[in-house]
Structure 1
């Protein structure tokens, strides 16, 4: 019995035996050792951007597989430093964040200008840096759903970053400004030879209807991903789908019956595959977020998310709080368990 099967427990059959009958896996551009040559080399990305993508894909325990495991720690701004680091105050120190990524075998570490800048000369050549260039800070009162720039793309380049990351709150009143702002930032990042990663999140109270929350519905998140790849994100980050039918429930936009009858089902892997399809059938890699830390269930939740992502055709997992809100050795073990899913040949594409 593999470690993945053991962690999944009673749910192993549900996730590992599922056969996707919606979007055929033969239609997808799947991650592999030749991802850059097979998928990206024919694009308009510069030679240096291709090199940055290859650097990320070649690093860590998953290096050479086409899959990625990324440690993201921007929660000090996005969720407040107290809420994020009180469970483990060691991570107020930026060096421990980068150490966790290095010792945890991650492909890259994603964090703020301040965190990565504080230790750049020591670590920027040892692990690919992904500088998160915009944030929603929670000290403004009342708080709004807005992401603002905290620095420049050139600052990230001068730091030696392999990539820049950014968030757009699709659906929010400020989303169109963010869309223009980040499209320009990504264009400059590519010009300078860095890769681009977009957090394609939804934010609008109107996406809650009759007690149901559609911020993670497959149809709405899929469209957010499609907007993200349109502005040339090389990788998109998205929450794992928790339901479907957001367009219909909210009563806006345009959709098709086939989205719900042929292209998806109620199985989590099929819902995630719809997200993959919206990233140009996997040409742009989908990484799903690991979500908040819940304590004892974190390991099983993280491994389950990784299995769903991999079997759907995704590119990997980006997990932060589940790893850094616990002692470093336990955080490393959790990251390794996630990576083991992508190294396990028995976890196949559905």
Structure 2
């Protein structure tokens, strides 16, 4: 797609998103994605050369290879959301090979999935596309349902199957978050010792984060503090949901600590400014922020994916990790949506706000 195509997809939102100038956090204060990001940023850290090589594998693969941006296909929903509910729209994806083929056809930097999915086809594909193994999950077979991320395997298992990275989720704010944090901090340390990159899903989770009809799980302040904690345990790449409101979660829920400047000076109601606050909390972009694509909504998926990608890129983010919008439909349509997202990051006319 060209910029005219992207503008047409954005429709009435085009000017709002493409012409916005961020006056809360100037772009000069950020470590921004682009060619040479590993040399400029990652290489300044304590990461060893093998980790840098693994990160380079991620950054060099697919249609976005060499740009400093990432497009990752995540398919762990068979565990997280039950396989039947996730794959009923397209039963082809019960077969793990089709998951990897979608990532290849879609020009992704990496494919992210469970131990079982990736191990079942590792000998055929681990050398063709970077593997990102999700080492913990929440599963919905326990009755009544619980919400707790538990380890499904070891970092060594991931390394043995040829993966270049491991990923994990922490439910920040949950009663189990302290255990998850210490488990994953230790797992990430081991991954770095083995030369693997690390990606953290930094989700907020607590029923108390819903009050008065408002869901603060996606509030910019809570989600941004979650990513700050994620970078603190040395995640190389941070995954977070796109912030949906700048309502003061800490203040309204009366917990934690806040400063009025967080809401009046460091962010606004504009989605690019809220996403930039997430980037700021990723050590000013030293840990790249990738936002999730969200659930499939049907015919509007392509428009929503492009909308999210434009916000992420203009905020200073490093890409999207998008699954259900692509695999819950025929292969050609899934590839088309993945390419549409990647085209946003390839389009030089879309710049930092």
Secondary structure of the corresponding residue to residue 196 of structure 1: strand
Report the count of equivalent residues: 350
1: CA distance between counterparts of 2:110 and 2:6? 23
Q: Of residues 68, 82, 85 in structure 2, which corresponds to 1:83? A: 85
2: CA distance between counterparts of 1:84 and 1:118? 19
Secondary structure of the corresponding residue to residue 178 of structure 1: helix
Structure 1 equivalent of residue 332 of structure 2:
329
Q: Of residues 285, 302, 316 in structure 1, which corresponds to 2:319? A: 316
User: How far is 1:144 from its partner?
Assistant: 1.6
User: How far is 1:61 from its partner?
Assistant: 0.2
Residue 260, structure 1, aligned to residue 263, structure 2: yes
Q: What's the CA shift string for 1:323-345, capped at 9, x where partnerless?
A: 00000000000000000000001
TM-score normalized with structure 1 length: 0.99
1: CA distance between counterparts of 2:86 and 2:310? 26
2: CA distance between counterparts of 1:164 and 1:298? 28
Q: Structure 1: where are the runs of 5+ without partners?
A: none
Structure 2 equivalent of residue 286 of structure 1:
289
User: How far is 1:239 from its partner?
Assistant: 0.3
Structure 2 equivalent of residue 20 of structure 1:
22
1: CA distance between counterparts of 2:213 and 2:12? 29
Alignment RMSD, CA only? 0.6
User: How far is 1:4 from its partner?
Assistant: 1.1
Secondary structure of the corresponding residue to residue 284 of structure 2: helix
Q: Structure 2: where are the runs of 5+ without partners?
A: none
Residue 269, structure 1, aligned to residue 297, structure 2: no
Q: What's the CA shift string for 1:193-239, capped at 9, x where partnerless?
A: 00000000011000001000000100000000000000000001000
1:142-161 aligned within 5 A: 142-161=144-163
Structure 1 equivalent of residue 346 of structure 2:
343
Structure 1 equivalent of residue 218 of structure 2:
216
Q: Of residues 303, 307, 311 in structure 1, which corresponds to 2:306? A: 303
Q: Name segments (4+ residues, structure 1) moved above 2 Å.
A: none
1: CA distance between counterparts of 2:92 and 2:4? 33
